[in-house]
Amino acid sequence: MVVGGFVVQCLPDERNKAAQALSALQGVEVYGDDEQGNVVVVAEADSSGELGEVVKRMEKVDSVLNVGMTYMNMEDEAEQIASGESTPKVFDGRKRKRDSLETP
């Protein structure tokens, strides 16, 4: 299991609505928020790749401006990699070309 801690920045006036939407996501638990629009979240997933998908879902919540990771624990996944049970996906640092956003 992989666990990540996040500070999710939201529009201040809509932080309660955003916190409710975030807490409705599978594997996401909201721990608090402040008047500036920061929402403290902990998310769990089976792998770091799945945690990345949870982050993408959090980013799609209305009024969310940014999802910033503050902590990540992946001991279980690291042990699986060390024992040969799992192979990590390698990121080479290069962005892939995206299709043009312009419509013909």
pLDDT at 89: 63
The arithmetic mean of pLDDT across residues 78-98, rounded, is 65
More confident residue, 84 or 90: 84
pLDDT tens digits, 14-39: 999 999 999 999 999 999 999 999 99
pLDDT, position 101: 55
Task: List beta partners, residue 32.
Answer: 40
Q: What's the sign of the alpha-carbon dihedral 44, 38, 10, 21?
A: positive
Global pTM reads 0.75
75: pLDDT strictly greater than 80? no
The CATH architecture annotation of domain 2-83 reads 2-Layer Sandwich (3.30)
